[in-house]
Chains A and B, each alone.
Chain A
Amino acid sequence: MTGDFLSLASVVGFVSGNLILRLIAVAIVAFIVVSIGSLIEIYIERKFWARIMSRYGPTEVGRYGSLQLFADAIKFISKEVFTPELADRTIYDIVPVLAVATSFVVLVAIPFDYAVSSLFPNSFHPSSFVISNFDPSLLVAFGFFAMEPVLVLFGGWAGGSKYTLIGGFRSAAQLISYEIPLVLSFLSVVALTRSLNLFQIIEVQSASWPFLILELPAFVLFLIAMLAELERTPFDLTEADSELVAGWNTEYGGSKFLLVYLSEYIRAFAGSAIITCLFLGGWVGPAPIPGLVWIFVKTIVVFTVLVWIRAAYPRVRIDQMLNLGWKVLVPSSVVWLVLTPYVANFAVVHHLLTL
């Protein structure tokens, strides 16, 4: 064992030479990013939300309650594991695992790996650790994003309780109602850049105005549809506590509930990151700060806005929610999608956008 063999550069060279090792390295990096992101998100959710409502939030464990999340995780993991008698054992056990896995796959398509590898000097071949730069990356992300209704239905049915069944069906109705406006409103960004690659969308955006301005209606529609897809207030009918106890995950306890909760926050992180990449310019920023900081901070800011919306608005009724989805969001996203080519032409003519 010479010192040369153990040097970082040679380890990086060895890992980048082997496809599987490289992919595992990228996946572990993505997992670290999303874990840190979820921890920050849950802390913001609890503390910022509490401050808006004139409460204190967690204060006891750690300074300003910062270790509360770890205490909660330890409590969840050390709880007794059991399956209720009426539950369908196989499906009941596998749904939380699948929920975490499918929400985590969404991160394949989000260019965090590029942002991380661009931190390191050129001798480590930064671009060889990027896998998110492929063509229909947006479709892959939304494909795995759309797995949720199936899992929610399975989990709700398998729980063996009336609350979980009704909660599961309600969740599925909500998720599929907002799927179409979600797809149509991100398609108008696609129509502007003529690419399904998040990488290229960010690169086009870096040379133009942010799409938040060029595509403001699409941004508003996408944000509303995303709020509903993430099952957050004002659209948290899926776990309306006063009606359905906790929705489809009522019967999940202990470490299984921890997984369900974690998958919810991974989805929230991925959703905020997709909003960041589509409309806010991804890793591009006005100041010479590393791209990772930009994309991470923007994602957290988007999530904070979602928490703010959660604190500020009451929950809508289910008929209001379905009306909004079908009668307002679908028609307006269709109209805006058909108008987008004209916007693109206008933007190109006035040098707001270079293709």
Chain B
Amino acid sequence: MGLEQGLGIIVFFALGAIVGYAAEFIPRLLIKSKKTAEKMMPFESGEDPVGTSRVRFRIQYYIFAVAFVTFDVVAAIAIPWAVGWNLIVWTPLLVLFGSMLLVIGYYAAKGELEWL
């Protein structure tokens, strides 16, 4: 990847952001907003919201996040292997894949991957 592609990514991002920004902020100049208490309330099917909206959430999301981070490293290590599998030794990758499957099996056997 050279300078051209790096700049290309920036130009694409800038074009997308400009279009998005224009679509979001130009209507703001043209249309007058009338704020009412009901309108500014979070949507809960017309009921008055109870308590804070930043509720506590399940710890299980954290387990999935940790599993994702760990196994994504394995996937990232598999990328150079996939490009040059005919040139390099396979053993480390096979060990990594085997341990990943073992860990998933352990998780599954312990019931951590079940959604409660």
Chain A contacts to B: CB under 8 angstroms: 19-20, 23-24, 26-28, 30-31, 77-82, 84-86, 93, 96-105, 107-108, 131, 134-137, 139-140, 157, 159-163, 165-166, 169, 172-173, 176-177, 179-180, 183-184, 187-188, 190-191, 194-196, 245, 250-251, 254-256, 258-259, 318-319, 322-323, 326-327, 330-331, 334, 337-338, 340-341
Contact partner of A81 among B31, B55, B114, CB < 8 A?
B31
Asked if residues B23 and A338 are in contact (CB atoms below 8 Å), the reply is: no
A195 near B83: Cβ-Cβ < 8 Å: yes
A190:B79 contact, CB within 8 angstroms: yes
Minimum C-beta distance from A19 to chain B (A): 7
What 13 additional pairs, Cβ within 8 angstroms, besides A134-B2, A163-B43, A326-B113?
A24-B11, A80-B32, A80-B34, A85-B42, A162-B53, A166-B57, A176-B68, A183-B79, A187-B82, A191-B82, A194-B84, A254-B27, A326-B107
Please name all residues of chain A whose beta carbon is closer than 8 Å to the beta carbon of B35 when the two chains form the complex.
Answer: 82
Interface residues on B, range: 35 or more
Which of A255, A326, A334 is close to B97, meaning CB atoms less than 8 Å apart? A334
The distance from the CB of B4 to the nearest CB of chain A, in whole angstroms, is 6
CB B85 to nearest CB in A, in angstroms, measures: 5
Q: Which residues of A contact B33 (CB under 8 A)?
A: 80-82
A81 to B8, CA, bound (A): 32
15 A-B contacts (beta carbon < 8 Å): A31-B19, A80-B31, A82-B40, A85-B41, A86-B42, A105-B9, A162-B49, A173-B64, A177-B68, A179-B72, A191-B85, A194-B86, A196-B79, A251-B42, A318-B115
Are the C-beta atoms of B108 and A326 separated by less than 8 Å?
yes
Q: Point out the residue from B4, B12, B27 that lies within 8 Å of A255, measured CB to CB.
A: B27
Provide the bound-state CA to CA distance between A257 and B108, in Å: 38
B11/A27 in contact, CB under 8 A: yes
The answer to whether B24 and A97 have CB atoms under 8 Å apart is yes
List the A side residues contacting B114 at CB < 8 Å.
319, 323
Closest residue of A by beta carbon distance from B8: A131
Within 8 A of A (CB), among B41-97: 41-45, 49, 53-55, 57, 61, 64-65, 67-68, 71-72, 75, 78-79, 81-86, 94, 97
Contact call B79/A139, Cβ cutoff below 8 A: yes
B113–A322 touching, CB < 8 Å: yes
Give chain A residues whose Cβ lies under 8 Å from the Cβ of B57: 165-166, 169
**A26 and B8 in contact (CB under 8 A), knowing A80-B31, A322-B64?**
yes
Return A273 CB to nearest CB of chain B, in Å.
Answer: 14
Tell me the residues in window 1-33 of chain B with beta carbons closer than 8 Å to chain A beta carbons.
1-2, 4-5, 7-9, 11-17, 19-21, 23-24, 27-28, 31-33
Answer whether A338 and B94 are a contact pair too, CB < 8 Å, given A100-B20, A184-B75: yes
Q: Using Cβ atoms and an 8 Å threshold, which residues of chain A touch B115? A: 318-319, 322
Q: How far is the CA of A137 from the CA of B31 in the complex (A)?
A: 42
Given that A23-B7, A85-B41 are known contacts, is A96 also in contact with B24, CB under 8 Å in the complex? yes
Q: Which residues of B contact A250 (CB under 8 A)?
A: 43
Asked whether B110 is an interface residue with its Cβ less than 8 Å from the other chain, the reply is: no
Q: How far is the CB of A245 from chain B (nearest CB, A)?
A: 7
Assembled-state Cα–Cα distance A331/B67 (Å): 14
Minimal Cβ-Cβ distance residue in A for B64: A173
Q: Do A104 and B86 form a contact, CB below 8 Å, given A93-B24, A187-B79?
A: no
Are the CB atoms of B16 and A105 closer together than 8 Å?
A: yes
Once bound together, how far apart are the Cα atoms of A330 and B2, in whole Å?
Answer: 33
- A20 CB to closest chain B CB (Å) equals 7
Contact B86 A334 (CB under 8 A): no
Contact A176 B53 (CB under 8 A): no
Chain A neighbourhood of B40, CB < 8 A? 82, 84-85
B15 cross-chain contacts in A, Cβ below 8 A:
24, 27-28, 31, 104
